[in-house]
Amino acid sequence: MDSRESLHASDTPRPSNGWIGAGIFVFVLAIYVLSSPGRIDIIDGQARYEVTYNLLLDGRPVVRDPWIKPVRGVPGRKGLSYSIYGAPGSVFSMPLVWLGLLADNPPGEPSRFLFSLTSSIFGALIAVVLYLFYIELGLAAREALAWTMVNAFATLVWPTSNSTFDNAQHAFFAISAVYLGYLSAKRKSRFLAAAGGMMAGVLILYQEYFLLLIPALAICTLDWPPVIAPPLNAGRKARLKPLWDQLSTDIRNDIQALFNLVRSPFRGQGETRESCVRLLCFLTTVGVGLALSLAYNDLRFGSILHTGKLQFESEGAYPLLGNPLAGFVTLLLSPGKSVFLYSPPLILGVFGIRHLWRRRPDVGTAIAAASAILVLFISCISFAGGDWCWGPRYLVVLLPLWALAFPFALRERRLRRNLVVAIVGLGLAVQVLALSMENQRFFFERGLNDFFWAEDPWFYCKHSALVARVGEVISLKDGLPPTAQMFNSVPIPDWSTYSILGPPRKMRRSLAPQWMRQFKIYYLPRPWPIWAWWVKPDLRPVNLEAWIGGVCGLGLLGIALVVQGFRKSSGSRVTQGVVPIQEAGPP
C-alpha cells in the first residue's frame, strides 16, 4: 500500500476503471449481503419500512403498524400518524420491498429481508466512488483498489452498511458531493458542480442538520493551487531543531499557507468568476433538496417547518441538548464510543490529512471543516452516541472523506509500514466483532433504560460495547440457553425479520437480562446465513441454499470483473498520477 511510488508519475498501462468499478461494487455488495443481519435490526428501521410499505400500498407515507405507531409515530394531517424520519430512507427501499411483496411468503418476511439490504447497496456504491476519487487524486489503480477495500472492510462503514440505520446512505451522498465538486473544479464544469449540489441536497432530506455541513462540502468546487512545502534543505535543517521548535515552525508555516490559500481562488479575475459560479451552482441545487424537505414536512404535518422531531422528543421526556464536553469526549476519546476505536484506520487519515491538504487544499479543507462542524454539533446533543447502536454512527458520514487521506499516511516518515498493516488488521478485527452478534444484547444485559444516555452523559467513559463484545463472542461456544424457546421478541412468534421489541413497559428494566434469555436471537451469530438455519424452512424469509449460492457467485463475478479491468488496458503507455509536490525531507 505504499503511496510513495504511485503518487509519482509513472509509465504503466491504464486499467479500465469502468470494469474495476463494476467489480468493486459487485464484490463489496456480495460481502455486505452475506454479512448482513437479514432482518430489521433496529426499531428506527422498522418505522422506515412501515413508510415504504404504505407508500407502495396506498401512496401515503403513514405509519399504521400497531406496535410501531405508539413509539415512532407522530400525529399529522387528517389525523393520520407519520414517521419523524426523512423520505429517502424509505423511498430508496421501495424497489426492494416491492420485489419482496411479489413473493410474499411467509407474509412480510421476504420484503423485510430485502429492505434490510438497502444500506448494503449504498455501502457498495461508496466503495466505487472512493476508488474513482483515488484515481483522480493520482493513485495507481492497484493502490486505489487496496485502500478502497480498507475503507470498506476495516472501518465502521461495513457494520453501518449492514444496518437498517441510514448512516451509510448519508456517507454515500457526502462523498459523492465532494467527488463531483472536486471534478467540477478540476474540469471547470458548472454541470458537475450542480450535480454535486444535488447530492449534498439529498442529505437535507435525511436530516435537516446536514445544512450545517453544506458550506464545508461546497469548498471542493473552488480551484485552489497546491500548497508548496518548505524547500528540501530547510526541512533537513528543521530536523536539527528541538521538537517543540520544529512543531511551532510547522504550525506557523501551515497557518500562513492557509491564509494564502484562502486568497488564492480570488487572485485571478477569470478564475474568481468561475469559482464563484461553480460555488453558486452547487449551492443552488442544494436548494432543491431543501425545498423537497420542506414540502415533505407540509405533506405530513401541514407546516413546512414542522418535522415531528421536537414533538417526538418532548413526548419522550428527554432533553435535546446535552453536556458538550461529555459528548466530545464520548465521540473521540471514550472507551465506549470513540470513533478511533471503532474505526482504527481513521488514525491513518489523521496522519495523512496534512499531505492530502498540501496536494489538494480544496479537498483537505472540505474534510477538516465538515469534521469540525459535525463533531462540535453532535457533541452538543444529549444522544451524541446515536443509541441504541454500535459505535458513533453519526460520524460515519465523515469516514469515506477521511479515507481519502489514508494513502498519504505513508508519506509520514514516523509511520512504518508494519504499523499501518497492524492498524488495518485491527480495524478488520473490530468490524468482524461488530457483525458477529446482536448489538442490543449489550443494552439488555445491563438493564438500561431507553434514555440511559440522557440520565448519564458519561456512560461511555465507564462502559464499552466493544470490550463487552469479546466476551459475548466467546459465549457463543456455550450454545443457546435452555430458556431460549422463541426466536425473536415480537408478538408474532413466526416472524424472524421484524425488529426486536424490548421488554413490556410494565416490566422493571432490572429484569431485562432474564427476559432476554427467552429468545434465541441474542445467542446466535448475527449474519443471516447462520441464524436462519435455526428457523423452520417454511418460515424462513428466503431459500437459504439458493441465496447463499447466488451471493457467493456474485462475489466471484466481482473478482472476475476487477481482474478483467486490469487486463483490459489500452495497449499504450500512459502517464498515471500527478507530478509530485516537493516536500520537506528526502524523497
Residuewise pLDDT in 10s, the chain (587 residues): 444 444 444 444 566 889 999 999 999 999 999 999 999 999 999 999 999 999 999 999 999 999 999 888 899 998 899 999 999 999 999 999 999 999 888 999 999 999 999 999 999 999 999 999 999 999 999 999 999 999 999 999 999 999 999 999 999 999 999 999 999 999 999 999 999 999 999 999 999 999 999 999 999 998 877 765 554 444 444 444 554 555 455 555 555 555 555 555 545 455 667 888 999 999 999 999 999 999 999 999 999 988 888 777 766 667 888 899 999 999 999 999 999 999 999 999 999 998 899 889 999 999 999 999 999 999 999 999 999 999 999 999 999 999 999 999 887 656 788 899 999 999 999 999 999 999 999 999 999 998 898 899 999 999 999 999 999 999 999 989 999 989 998 888 889 999 999 898 889 999 999 999 999 999 999 999 999 999 999 999 999 999 999 999 999 999 999 999 998 754 434 444 443 433 433 32
Residue 494 vs residues 106, 191, 501: alpha-carbon distances, Å: 9, 51, 14
Distance of CA 534 to the CA centre of its chain: 31
Written as nine digits, the cell of 245 is 521548535
How many angstroms separate the CA atoms of 555 and 577, rounded? Answer: 29
Q: Return the pLDDT at 318.
A: 76
What are the start-end ranges of the E strands in 281-348? Answer: none
Task: Kindly state the cell numbers that stand for 185.
Answer: 473544479
3-state secondary structure of 370: helix
Are 208 and 245 spatial neighbours (Cβ–Cβ below 8 Å)? no
State the Cα–Cα distance between residues 253 and 231, nearest whole angstrom.
12
Chain mean position to CA 320? 23
Instruction: Round to whole Å and give the CA distance between 272 and 81.
Output: 50
Q: Taking every pair of C-alpha atoms in the chain, what is the biggest distance, in angstroms? A: 77
Taking a C-beta distance cutoff of 8 angstroms, is the pair 398, 212 a contact?
Answer: no
Which among 533, 480, 515 is positioned nearest to 38, based on CA atoms?
Answer: 533
Peptide bond into 388 cis (omega under 30): yes
Q: Is the pTM of this model over 0.85?
A: yes
Residue 517 dihedral angles phi and psi, to the nearest 5°: -75, 0
Q: Where are the alpha helices (DSSP H) in 81-166?
A: 88-91, 94-102, 109-115, 118-136, 141-154, 157-161
Tell me the one-letter amino acid at 491. Answer: P
Name the grid cell of 348.
491513518
pLDDT of residue 532: 94
Nearest one of 503, 390, 483 to 158, comparing CA atoms: 390
Residue 513's SS3 state is: helix
- The Cα–Cα gap between 381 and 404 comes to 28
